[in-house]
């Protein structure tokens, strides 16, 4: 196993046995589920809404060159400076360059997964800039020097007590551990930062080609302030965020809010189309949009997986995933966790190192069911498994399948194996069950092995035909 896979197994083993962690996540997500279902029910036709959203994103992604070009022309026409970055390094260099040219020292940031993706904070701090995360959850994990736990709820894994301790240690200000008062501490600290900051950096949820605008969804108003007060504003945008028309947001915004946070519409959904325009009282003097590729065009080239670029980063697939809910967000060791992270990471960062994430799934399909833009996540996980075994099948798997194939292909051998062979094996298996000599140790170490049924289906069926079904094990199921 490579290091990423070892780390995954180690952390997953620890966290899935951590009842406190599980309790925290289950309560948080339980609340989310109730609200989400309530809001879904208000839709006239939620399933059809998902299909329309998927159609919209399909159109955008499959004509990305045209829409991107249109988006950029519209933005530039109103004074925005647009930059293109093929790689994470280029994006970091560009942003550092913009800040340096503007003479900026302090930067407020509103939540941006693209910035996590390119490790922007570390880079800016190394270059001597002060960077403050303004989203409350991000602010908390930044103080703790942790990556966000979840793409929408970054501090979901922390109790109020832990947050109080963090504030005490880092801000010397924690009057109590009520969420209310802790939030007010952050509010006080961050207000001053907004007013003083030289530059604001944001992400974006959508980029509207038709009008050349970006759209940011948030609840706190921190992105609003980030875009209002500093004299320089920078938006770091993945090129896949494009939607064709402004009116498409009439559907996508509520869909994102319901799937992401169980709200019909999040607190602030804001469109930005440029720097301060003539006649406007405030807003940044300069507005820069940095378009980030960083592997997205390579992803686009895989027609089978292309729809993963439809993702609107709502986090719904994380919330419903039984694996995520047990192993937690940090275990993945990736920028994007949960099903969508398990789908895209191996393709962005390399199958050999990340293929283990394709197995971080029970294949229950809950992610596919819930995704508001209908990405077939469960299927993509299977495709990743297939691709990984094509790249480099392990020798023992090859051997196992070599031995298994003739047995499975022969009626006689198969019937022997599942009846007599199985029963003989069962007797011997009992001797080593749960010990290291057990060939099924990986399973039996932590789980029960269900006993082999005393009768096969065929035997039971034959017995039933002979009129003695009641004698069989499955008697009650056989009643007409």
Partner 1 sequence: MNERENILGRIREALRFPARRPGSHGVTEGKTALPTVAERREVLPPVSSSFDAQMALFARNCAELRADFKLCRDADEVIAELARLREAEGWSRIASHRGPQTESAVTSFGLPVLWTERGYDKHELERCAAGITACDALVAQTGTVVVSTRTGGGRALNVLPPHHVVLATRDQLVPDLPAAFATLKERYGADYPSMISFITGPSRTGDIERILVLGAHGPKKLTILCV
Q: Out of 124, 233, 371, 381, name the contact with ligand SF4 by CB under 6 A.
A: 371
- CB 436 to partner 1: min, Å: 42
CB count in 10 Å sphere of residue 205:
24
Q: Which residues of 131-159 are buried (b: 16+ CB within 10 A; e: fewer)?
A: bbbbbbbbbbbbbbeebbbbbbbbbbbbe
Task: Return the closest-CA partner of residue 231 out of 73, 85, 91, 101.
Answer: 101
Q: Return the number of the residue (140 or 259) whose C-beta is nearest partner 1.
A: 140
Q: Which does 136 bind (CB under 5 to 8 A by kind): ligand SF4, partner 1, none?
A: partner 1
Among positions 104, 209, 255, 373, the unique one binding ligand SF4 when judged by CB under 6 A: 373
Burial class (CB in 10 A: 0-12, 13-18, 19+), 414: middle
Which has the closest alpha carbon to 339: 364, 351, 349? 364
Considering only residues 289 to 328 of the shown chain, the ones binding partner 1 according to CB under 8 A are 291, 293, 297-298, 300-301, 303-304, 306-307, 310
Supply the Cα-derived Rg of the chain in whole angstroms.
Answer: 27
Q: Give the residue with the Cβ less far from partner 1, 18 or 459.
A: 18
Written as six digits, the tokens of 218 are 């948030």
Residue of 332, 264, 335 lying closest to 113 (CA atoms): 335
Paired with 130 in beta bridges are 106
Footprint of partner 1 on 83-112 (CB under 8 A): 83-86, 90
Shortest distance in whole angstroms from residue 368 CB to ligand SF4: 9
Q: Closer to partner 1 by CB, 100 or 184: give it.
A: 184
Among 313, 355, 356, 380, binds ligand SF4 (CB under 6 A): 313
**Contact partner, 316, from partner 1, ligand SF4, none, Cβ < 5-8 Å per class:** ligand SF4
Pairing of strands 232-238, 106-109: unpaired
Give CA separation, 189 vs 80, 184, 186, 197, 302, in Å: 31, 9, 5, 13, 46
Q: How far is the CB of 412 from ligand SF4 (least distance, A)?
A: 46
Residue closer to ligand SF4, measured from CB, 202 or 319: 319
Neighbouring CB atoms inside 10 A of 227's CB total 22
Chosen residue from 143, 239, 317, 463 binding partner 1 by CB under 8 A: 239
27 binds partner 1 (CB under 8 A): yes
Site string for partner 1, 174-203 (x = CB under 8 A): -----xx-xxx-xx--xx--xx--------
User: Among residues 332, 267, 15, 231, which one has the least CA distance to residue 136?
Assistant: 267
Q: What part of residues 221-280 is at the interface with ligand SF4 (CB under 6 A)?
A: 259
85 binds ligand SF4 (CB under 6 A): no
Q: Would you tell me which residues interact with ligand SF4 (CB under 6 A)?
A: 259, 311-317, 340, 370-373, 375, 377
């Amino acid at each position: 196993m490579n290091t990423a896979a070892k780390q995954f197994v180690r952390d997953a083993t620890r966290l899935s046995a951590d009842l406190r962690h599980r309790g925290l996540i289950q309560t948080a997500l339980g609340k989310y589920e109730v609200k989400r279902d309530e809001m879904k029910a208000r839709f006239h036709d939620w399933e059809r809404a998902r299909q329309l959203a998927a159609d919209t994103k399909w159109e955008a992604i499959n004509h990305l060159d045209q829409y991107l070009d249109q988006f950029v022309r519209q933005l530039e026409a109103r004074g925005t400076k647009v930059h293109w970055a093929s790689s994470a390094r280029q994006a970091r260099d560009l942003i550092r360059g913009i800040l340096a040219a503007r003479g900026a020292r302090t930067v407020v940031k509103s939540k941006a997964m693209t910035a996590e993706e390119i490790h922007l904070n570390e880079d800016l701090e190394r270059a001597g800039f002060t960077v403050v995360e303004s989203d409350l959850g991000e602010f908390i994990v930044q103080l703790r020097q942790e990556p966000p736990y979840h793409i929408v709820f970054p501090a979901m894994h922390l109790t109020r007590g832990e947050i109080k301790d963090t504030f005490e240690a880092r801000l010397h200000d924690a009057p109590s551990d009520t969420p209310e008062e802790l939030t007010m501490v952050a509010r006080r600290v961050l207000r001053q930062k907004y007013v003083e900051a030289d530059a604001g950096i944001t992400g974006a949820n959508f980029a509207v080609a038709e009008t050349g605008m970006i759209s940011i969804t948030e609840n706190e108003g921190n992105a609003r302030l980030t875009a209002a007060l500093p004299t320089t504003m920078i938006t770091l945008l993945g090129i896949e965020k494009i939607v064709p028309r402004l009116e498409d947001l009439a559907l996508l915004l509520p869909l994102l809010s319901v799937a992401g946070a169980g709200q019909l519409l999040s607190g602030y959904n804001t469109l930005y189309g440029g720097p301060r325009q003539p006649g406007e009282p405030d807003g940044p003097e300069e507005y820069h949009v940095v378009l980030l590729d960083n592997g997205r065009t390579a992803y686009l080239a895989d027609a089978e997986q292309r729809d993963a670029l439809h993702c609107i980063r709502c986090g719904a697939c994380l919330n419903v995933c039984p694996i995520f809910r047990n192993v937690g967000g940090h275990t993945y060791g990736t920028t994007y966790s949960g099903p969508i992270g398990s789908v895209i990471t191996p393709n962005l960062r390399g199958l050999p190192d990340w293929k283990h994430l394709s197995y971080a799934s029970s294949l229950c399909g809950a992610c596919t069911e819930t995704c508001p833009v209908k990405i077939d996540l469960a299927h993509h996980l299977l495709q990743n498994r297939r691709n990984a075994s094509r790249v480099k099948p392990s020798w023992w798997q090859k051997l196992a399948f070599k031995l298994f194939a003739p047995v499975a292909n022969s009626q006689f051998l198969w019937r022997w194996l599942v009846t007599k062979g199985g029963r003989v094996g069962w007797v011997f298996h009992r001797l080593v069950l749960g010990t290291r000599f057990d060939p099924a140790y990986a399973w039996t170490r932590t789980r029960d092995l269900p006993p082999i049924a005393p009768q096969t289906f065929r035997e039971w069926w034959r017995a039933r035909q002979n009129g003695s079904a009641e004698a069989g094990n499955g008697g009650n199921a056989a009643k007409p």
